[in-house]
Structure formats: structure tokens, C-alpha cells
């Protein structure tokens, strides 16, 4: 499993004007060194933080492959104000593969604040992201305090009207799984996992059967198995794959 390194060491000394000149992430190319160029992210929430994404090294693994290492500096509300914070935070992730995309900002729990999603791997089941959330959310004057709250994997990630973070990925050869999560005490918690059978019968008809295969978040909910199945299998993000 990929082990994150999160530190409060001051970030790289990138001059204010140089931060402003960095390309936005998602629009960068390989520099010819095997690594993409530095880029920046700007959150659209009320905090308005700017992030500098630095691909700092390329390590050769024992298996002969390359492991990317990405460092992300939180430099403040915007490039001009980056010296206003007494503390800065730098997040470091190993296993970041540029082929899976650059880090991105998304409000995955619909609370009005962006989470930082850092791709750390992927496969047929979807992209795996390390998820960081700002714990200094009560005041926009506080120093940013991003903490790693867990990982999420899927080919589609969305927030449901019922209040869950849902991630859909490929299960088996003819299956998809949808995992419903919530953020509790600054950690991502698995609540319910459903499986959708996409196999076909002899006439080519897709079965589309949905069932719950794990439900740690429903303990004490009072829902019967059939009620829980009916509720979560009726979620729009599940129905679109049936």
C-alpha cells in the first residue's frame, strides 16, 4: 500500500510572480525528463487557496518500474497573499503516476469546500486517489491545514442527493461495484458497497441485478436487508449502470 508523507515543513520557496506564471494543472506536458512540469491549482471555494504541484523525483523500483513522487505546497489564498500565513503545509505522495492525471480539486462531499485529490495509481477498476481535506475550515484567516483522510477509487466519483460520496468501479469481468462513503471525524468511512451484475443471458440480455455485499455503515440503522437493498440499488449512480 502506498504510504503518504504529510509534513508541516515550509514549502519550496517559489517567488510570488513565479507561482502566477505556472500553468494550471491538467494542461501540462512531460518536460523530457520523464516528469511533467510544475503546475498550480486554485480552489473555487471561499478559502481560495493556491496549490503548487511539484513532481520532484523519479525513483526506480525494485521491479524495474518508475514510481513518481509528487509534492503539493499550499501557498495561501492566492499567489499574492502567499506570505500571509505563518505556517504552510506540504503534502507528499509516492506512487503518483502522471498517466492517471494531475492532482485536482473537487468538493466531493458538497459542503462548499474543495478536497484535494491526488492520483496514486489505477487499473481497470478505476483511478485511486489520496484525499486531503482542510481541517482549518471555520475561518478563512487560518493557515491551511490539509490532512489525508483516506483513499477513494473509481471510474466515476459523485455526491449523491442522499448525502453520500459514491465511487463506482469495475468489480469482476462482468460486474461493477458502487461504494457509498461519508466523512466522519475527518476520515473517509465506507458505509455501503453494492454489486451490479452486468453479465448477459443467452439472448444477450443484461441481468442488471443489484445486491449489497457490505454494509458496515448500516449497523443500528433499523433497515432490513431488503429495505437497504431497495434504497441503495435505487440510487441514480447505480441505476445508470443497470
| Digit-coded pLDDT (tens) for 179-237 | 999 999 889 999 999 999 888 777 767 677 899 999 999 988 889 999 999 999 999 99
| Digit-coded pLDDT (tens) for 37-68 | 888 898 888 888 888 888 876 656 566 556 67
Copy the grid coordinates of residue 161.
442527493
Give dist(CA 9, CA 91) in Å, integer: 9
- The pLDDT assigned to 30 comes to 64
Give dist(CA 19, CA 79) in Å, integer: 6
Report how far apart, in Å, the C-alpha atoms of 150 and of each of 66, 102, 188 are.
24, 18, 5
Please state whether the predicted TM-score (pTM) of the whole model is above 0.85.
Answer: no
CA 148 and chain centroid, separation: 10
- Do the Cβ atoms of 40 and 24 come closer than 8 Å? yes
Copy the grid coordinates of residue 242.
443497470
- Do the Cβ atoms of 42 and 50 come closer than 8 Å? yes
51 closest CA partner among 140, 118, 109:
118
- Location of C-alpha cell 504510504: 3
Amino acid at each position: 500500500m502506498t504510504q503518504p508523507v504529510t509534513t508541516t515543513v515550509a514549502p519550496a520557496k517559489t517567488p510570488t510572480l513565479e507561482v502566477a506564471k505556472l500553468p494550471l494543472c491538467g494542461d501540462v506536458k512531460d518536460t523530457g525528463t520523464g516528469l511533467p512540469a510544475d503546475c498550480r491549482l486554485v480552489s473555487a471555494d471561499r478559502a481560495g487557496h493556491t496549490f503548487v504541484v511539484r513532481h520532484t523525483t523519479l525513483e526506480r523500483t525494485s521491479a524495474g518500474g518508475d514510481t513518481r513522487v509528487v509534492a503539493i505546497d499550499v501557498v495561501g489564498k492566492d499567489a499574492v497573499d502567499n506570505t500571509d500565513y505563518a505556517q504552510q503545509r506540504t503534502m507528499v505522495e509516492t506512487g503518483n503516476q502522471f498517466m492517471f492525471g494531475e492532482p485536482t480539486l473537487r468538493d466531493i462531499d458538497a459542503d462548499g469546500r474543495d478536497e484535494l485529490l491526488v492520483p496514486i495509481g489505477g487499473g481497470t477498476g478505476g483511478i485511486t486517489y489520496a484525499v486531503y481535506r482542510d481541517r482549518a475550515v471555520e475561518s478563512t484567516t487560518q493557515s491551511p491545514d490539509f490532512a489525508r483522510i483516506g483513499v477513494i477509487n473509481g471510474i466515476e466519483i459523485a455526491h449523491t442527493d442522499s448525502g453520500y460520496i459514491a465511487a463506482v468501479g469495475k468489480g469482476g469481468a462482468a460486474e461493477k461495484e458502487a461504494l457509498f462513503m461519508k466523512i466522519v471525524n475527518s476520515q473517509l468511512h465506507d458505509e455501503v458497497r453494492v454489486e451490479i451484475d452486468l453479465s448477459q443471458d443467452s439472448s444477450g440480455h443484461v441481468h442488471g441485478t443489484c445486491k449489497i455485499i457490505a454494509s458496515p455503515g448500516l449497523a443500528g440503522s433499523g433497515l432490513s436487508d431488503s429495505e437497504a437493498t431497495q434504497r441503495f440499488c435505487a440510487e441514480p449512480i447505480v441505476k445508470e449502470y443497470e
